[in-house]
Amino acid sequence: MSGLKIKQEWMQKTVVVWFGALLCCLLWGSAFPCIKIGYRLFEVDAADTASQILFAGCRFTLAGILAAGIGSVMEGRFYVRREKQQKKLSG
């Protein structure tokens, strides 16, 4: 069997699907409280729109770096965007 076929079968197991859904729900539900805690830690005022946007930008940048890192570990190689992929992204 190929590695892809094994991964697909593993991802379709009921237990894996349940734990994946549970993890997603926990992460989704923790987003709002974590943002509020972050505002308090970094002293972001509710009326300071620029600081809120900067805070969001930092969160999304770190999330992208984390996603690329996890993807690299899962694939067993460093993730590099290919020229073909770049053309699809830029239109």
Whether residue 1 has pLDDT greater than 70: no
The verdict on pTM exceeding 0.75 is no
Q: pLDDT for 3-19, tens place per residue? A: 666 667 877 888 989 99
Q: Please tell me the predicted confidence (pLDDT) of residue 41.
A: 95
pLDDT digits (tens, 9 = 90+) for 50-78: 999 999 999 999 999 998 898 888 878 88
Mean pLDDT over residues 31-52, rounded? 93
Task: Identify which of 73, 42, 70 has the alpha carbon closest to the alpha carbon of residue 56.
Answer: 42
Asked if 55 and 38 touch (Cβ cutoff 8 Å), the reply is: yes
